[in-house]
Amino acid sequence: MAAFFKCAGLSKRFGGVQAVRGVGFNLLPQEILGLIGPNGAGKTTVVRMIMGLVRPEQGHLLFKDRDITRMSPWRRVSLGLTGTFQNSRPLRNLPVLANVMVACQSPRVARRGQWLKTMEARALEALEFVGLADLAMTPAASLSQGELKRLEIARALSTEPELLVLDEPFAGLNEAETRLLANSLAQLRRGGKFGRVHSEGCAMIIVEHKLAELMRLADRILVLHFGEVLAEGRPEDVVRDPRVVEAYIGAEVA
Ligand SMILES: Nc1ncnc2c1ncn2[C@@H]1O[C@H](COP(=O)(O)OP(=O)(O)OP(=O)(O)O)[C@@H](O)[C@H]1O
Ligand SMILES: [Mg+2]
């Protein structure tokens, strides 16, 4: 069968630190993979390699049957692979709406000859989806941490991703905000109301330390430890795996 997303043998060293070694996994359309592990395990490095922001020293990446290992980040976006960062850095003095419209200018959207009005409508649609439409004209600098996270997701959504990579989307969110965002992500995966492409649903790779929320969303969990895959499987099996409890979950609870 054709591969929707596949990475294999990904490795990256920073100076003396082997941040990632031989990491690989496959993903199906609309599948949600949770990526967990202790601080420094290599999660962010893996997702930055997937987004094209860090070049792997070894390994390769396939997306919709294309080898994207050396493809620039913006070309990956134009193919439908988008992500958000662990730390959001909006254009602080611009309104929320403008922050989303900037992201809309990805080739994926522009290629179809859609201009300002369409971008504005698309940006508003994305803001509505994440519950930020009321703040469209507010400068990004005055958003709360939770609102900033949702702005990041709106920016990513406006490029019509088929694979969305999220690095700690729930970090800094209170319980209500976390629930809201988790519901939006579940809806995004199922597809439906949001635009034409999303009606087919969206696959996701979610890095997260908030395990309870992640377990509700993820079909599968991959555990990284010292840059390598320690375990992979269904959420309920992985969290009971003694190696995972010892390396990560024990420490999280303590
Ligand atoms: N740009 C960089 N330069 C040097 N070392 C780096 C760089 N990025 C990551 N590292 C190192 O690589 C290792 C993996 O880091 P990474 O950020 O991928 O971990 P993580 O699993 O995302 O951790 P966290 O849960 O704290 O976000 C760490 O030892 C980190 O210090
Ligand atoms: Mg990280």
Q: Can you give the chain as a three-state secondary structure string?
A: CCCCEEEEEEEEEECCEEEEEEEEEEECCCCEEEEECCCCCCHHHHHHHHHCCCCCCEEEEEECCEECCCCCHHHHHHHCEEEECCCCCCCCCCEHHHHHHHHHCCHHHHCCCCCHHHHHHHHHHHHHHCCCHHHCCCEHHHCCHHHHHHHHHHHHHCCCCCEEEEECCCCCCCHHHHHHHHHHHHHHHHCCCCCCHHHHCCEEEEECCCHHHHHHHCCEEEEEECCEEEEEECHHHHCCCHHHHHHHHHHHHC
Q: 233, 199, 197: which is closest to 215 by C-alpha?
A: 233
Q: Which atom of ligand 1 is nearest to the CA of 37?
A: 21
pTM here?
Answer: 0.91
pLDDT at 197: 39
Say yes or no: CB of residue 11 within 6 Å of ligand 1.
no
Say yes or no: CB of residue 43 within 6 Å of ligand 1.
yes
Residue whose tokens read 């269904």: 234
Query: How remote is the CA of residue 69 from the centroid of ligand 1, in Å?
Result: 20
104 vs 136, more confident: 136
Q: Region 129-139: what's the mean pLDDT?
A: 93
pLDDT of 223 strictly over 90? yes
Render pLDDT for 156-214 as a digit per residue (tens, 0 to 9).
988 889 999 999 999 888 898 899 889 889 988 888 665 543 457 899 999 999 999 99
Say yes or no: CB of residue 41 within 6 Å of ligand 1.
yes
112 vs 153, more confident: 153
Q: Which atom of ligand 1 is nearest to the CA of 86?
A: 27
Render pLDDT for 81-126 as a digit per residue (tens, 0 to 9).
999 877 778 899 999 999 998 887 655 555 555 567 778 888 898 8
Atom 18 (ligand 1): residue with closest C-alpha?
42
pLDDT at 216: 93
Q: Beta-carbon neighbour count of residue 147 at 10 Å?
A: 20
